Amino acid sequence: MKQVTVYSQNSCASCVMVKKWLAMKNVEYKEVNLDEEPAQREYVQKMSGSSTVPVVVIEDKASESTAISIGYKPAQLATIVA
Amino acid sequence: MSQAAHVIIYSSAGNANGHALGAFLDENGVHYESKDADSSEHAKAEMQALAGGESEMPLLVVNSEAHANPTHAEVAQLLGLTADESADNKMHDVVMIGAGPSALAAAVYTTREDIGTVLYEKGIIGGLAAITDWVDNYPGFPKGISGLELAQSLEQQAERFGAEIRLGEVETITDKGSYKLLKTTDGNIRTRSVLIATGSDYKKLGVPGEEEFYGRGVHYCATCDGAFYRDKKLVVVGGGNSAVQEAIFLTRFTTHIDLLVRSEIRASEILRHELDKLVEKGQITVHLNTATDEIVGKDNKVTEIRAQKDGVPTTFEVDGAFIFIGLLPNTDFLKNSAIKLDSHGFIKTDAGLQTTIQGVFASGDVRSGATMQIASAVGEGATAALKLREYLEGHRK
Q: Residue B40's domain is classified under what CATH number?
A: 3.40.30.10
Pairwise CB contact (< 8 Å): B216 & A14: no
Residues found in chain A: 82
> Which residue, among B152, B155, B159, B224, would best test binding to A if mutated, counting the most A CBs under 10 Å from its CB?
B224
CATH number for the domain that contains residue A47: 3.40.30.10
Residue B375 lies in a domain: yes
Residue B4 — pLDDT band, cuts 50, 70, 90?
Answer: low
List Cα–Cα distances, B360 to B28, B193, B291, B342, in angstroms. Answer: 17, 6, 40, 16
pLDDT for B175 beyond 50: yes
List Cα–Cα distances, A5 to A12, A30, A33, B48, in angstroms. Answer: 16, 5, 10, 71
How many other C-beta atoms lie within 10 A of the C-beta of residue B128? 25
Buried b (16+ CB within 10 A) or exposed e, A23-36: eeeebebeebbbee
Domain-terminating residue out of B79, B109, B126: B79
Q: Give the mean model confidence (pLDDT) for residues A37-58.
A: 91
Pairwise CB contact (< 8 Å): A17 & B124: yes
Contacts of B169 (CB under 8 A, 6+ apart): B120, B122, B184, B185, B333
Parent domain of B381: 91-202+328-394
pLDDT of the residue at B1? 43
pLDDT for A52 beyond 80: yes
CA angle B342, B200, B300 (to 5 degrees): 125
Query: Percent of chain B beyond pLDDT 90?
Result: 76
Cα torsion angle, A70, B129, B331, B239, sign: negative
pLDDT of the residue at B82? 55
Residue B70 — pLDDT band, cuts 50, 70, 90?
Answer: very high
- Domains identified in chain B, total number: 3
What part of A 11-70 touches B (C-beta under 8 Å)?
11-14, 16-17, 20-21, 24, 34-35, 41, 45, 49-53, 70
- Domains identified in chain A, total number: 1
Pairwise CB contact (< 8 Å): A35 & B227: yes
Residue B50 lies in a domain: yes
Residues B118, B191 within the same domain: yes
CATH number for the domain that contains residue B182: 3.50.50.60
Parent domain of A38: 2-81
Residues B110, B186 within the same domain: yes
pLDDT for A15 beyond 60: yes
Residue B310 lies in a domain: yes
**Which pLDDT tens digit goes with each residue over B100-130?**
999 999 999 999 999 999 999 999 999 999 9
Residue B371 lies in a domain: yes
Buried b (16+ CB within 10 A) or exposed e, B189-199: bbbbbbbbbbb
Residue B2 lies in a domain: no
Among the ranges given (B24-33, B268-277, B353-362, B379-388), the one the predictor scored with the smallest mean pLDDT: B24-33
Residue B84 lies in a domain: no
pLDDT for B20 beyond 50: yes
Pairwise CB contact (< 8 Å): B219 & A52: yes
> Which string of DSSP letters, residue by residue, matches B159-176?
HHTT-EEEES-EEEEEE-
Residue B233 lies in a domain: yes
Residue B2 — pLDDT band, cuts 50, 70, 90?
Answer: very low
Residue numbers of B annotated as active site: 221, 224-225
Residue B387 lies in a domain: yes
Of the candidates B148, B167, B217, the beta carbon closest to that of A11 is on B148
Identify which has the larger pLDDT, B286 or B51. B286
Of the candidates B126, B133, B228, the beta carbon closest to that of A51 is on B228
Q: Give the mean model confidence (pLDDT) for residues B266-281.
A: 96
Predicted-assembly ipTM surpassing the 0.85 threshold? yes
Q: Give the mean model confidence (pLDDT) for residues B214-230.
A: 88
**Bridge-based pairing state of the strands B218-219 and B164-167:** unpaired
Residues B58, B130 within the same domain: no
Residue B55 — pLDDT band, cuts 50, 70, 90?
Answer: confident
Contacts of A50 in chain B (CB under 8 A): 215-216
